[in-house]
Amino acid sequence: MPRSSRRVVSPDADSDPGHYSDPPLLVLASLADGAKHGHAMLLDIQEMCGTRLGPGTLYGAITRLERDGLIEPLAADDRRQPYRLTAEGRRVLRARLATLYQFARAGLRKLEA
């Protein structure tokens, strides 16, 4: 099939600034106000920051957080498995959010300067 080398005009850049996406941090933040199962976490995260995590991404984050001892499973509710933060998870979440908060404040100060 013939092709030519004529150039195309690039479409305008997408003006969407994008959503925040750090799945483990989003899961930790979602569990900050109490235990939740996977589907409730997805909805909560979407409401918090507009990010819709994929099912595999969510469970990838859950796997890693549980392995690192930052979240723990509770007794299963039917087939749904709720999770909650551990004390270490709460400490890590607080530290990471504080760092992000300082970063955001510094960035905003620069913008306003």
Task: List contacts with another protein (CB under 8 A).
Answer: 1-9, 37-39, 54-57, 59-60, 62-63, 76, 78-81
Shortest distance, position 56 Cβ to another protein, whole Å: 3
Strand-pair partners of 72: 84
Nearer to another protein, 23 or 89 (CB): 23
Residue 55 sits at the vertex; the CA angle it makes with 53 and 61, to the nearest 5 degrees, is 70
Shortest distance, position 36 Cβ to another protein, whole Å: 12
Nearer to another protein, 14 or 78 (CB): 78
Rounded Cα gap, residues 48 and 84, in angstroms: 18
Please count the CA atoms within 13 angstroms of the CA of 49 that sit on its side-chain side. Answer: 18
